[in-house]
């Protein structure tokens, strides 16, 4: 199983790109002590209290998702390093399509093992470019040892922008909402 990181794993959008997405030219800047600072993934990420192992049962994961009202849970190894992610869609589409017996199925049977992640120190703009490029609604955040330390969702980004709308610049809200729509 491999983990690809958005800093290295996504290609930039070219000017001739014909898809509806546009480059995420965000105007994300904060004033910190009179200086302009770009927010990092660490500034926006939410702690990730839920994780599962590849050998965990699908029933356990589905129960965790239901109890915590979340649609995705990171899959980690014994050291907390990111191995992949399992979503409610992985369970309902992949598992059922494979015809696997739910009581006997494990996370490894249907998880997405190629997870795109960002470093906690990466700029929020770079994380959003990766989310947009890979069509992700949430992105795991890892430390230098590839251990999971948080997640950024589209909702986290919108909350951050709403809380900092005064200091971000007039075009930031439009750019961010547009990038999240594609």
Domain boundaries, the chain: 27-181
- The residue ranking higher by pLDDT, 136 or 23, is 136
Which contacts qualify for 45-48: CB closer than 8 Å, 24 or more apart? 45/120, 45/141, 45/149, 45/150, 45/151, 45/152, 45/156, 46/150, 46/151, 46/152, 46/153, 46/156, 47/149, 47/150, 48/74, 48/140, 48/141, 48/148, 48/149, 48/150, 48/151
Is the pLDDT at 3 greater than 70? The verdict is: no
Confidence of residue 139 (pLDDT cuts 50, 70, 90): very high
For the domain made up of 27-181, the CATH class stated in words is alpha beta
Q: Among residues of the chain, what percentage have pLDDT more than 90?
A: 38
């Amino acid at each position: 199983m491999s983990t690809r990181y958005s800093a290295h794993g996504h290609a930039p959008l070219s000017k001739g790109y014909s898809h509806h997405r546009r480059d995420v030219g965000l105007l994300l800047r904060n004033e910190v002590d009179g200086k302009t600072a770009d927010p990092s993934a660490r500034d926006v990420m939410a702690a990730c209290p839920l994780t599962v192992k590849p050998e965990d049962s699908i029933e356990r994961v589905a129960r965790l998702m239901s109890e915590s009202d979340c649609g995705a849970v990171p899959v980690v190894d014994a050291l907390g390093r990111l191995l992949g992610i399992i979503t409610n869609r992985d369970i309902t589409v992949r598992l059922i399509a494979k015809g696997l017996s739910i009581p006997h199925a494990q996370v490894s049977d249907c998880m997405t093992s190629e997870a795109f992640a960002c470093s906690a120190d990466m700029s929020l703009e770079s994380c959003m470019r990766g989310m947009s490029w890979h069509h992700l609604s949430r992105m795991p955040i890892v430390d230098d040892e590839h251990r999971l330390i948080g997640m950024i969702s589209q909702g986290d980004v919108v909350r951050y922008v709403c809380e900092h709308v005064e200091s971000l610049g007039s075009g930031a809200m439009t750019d961010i909402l547009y990038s999240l729509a594609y």
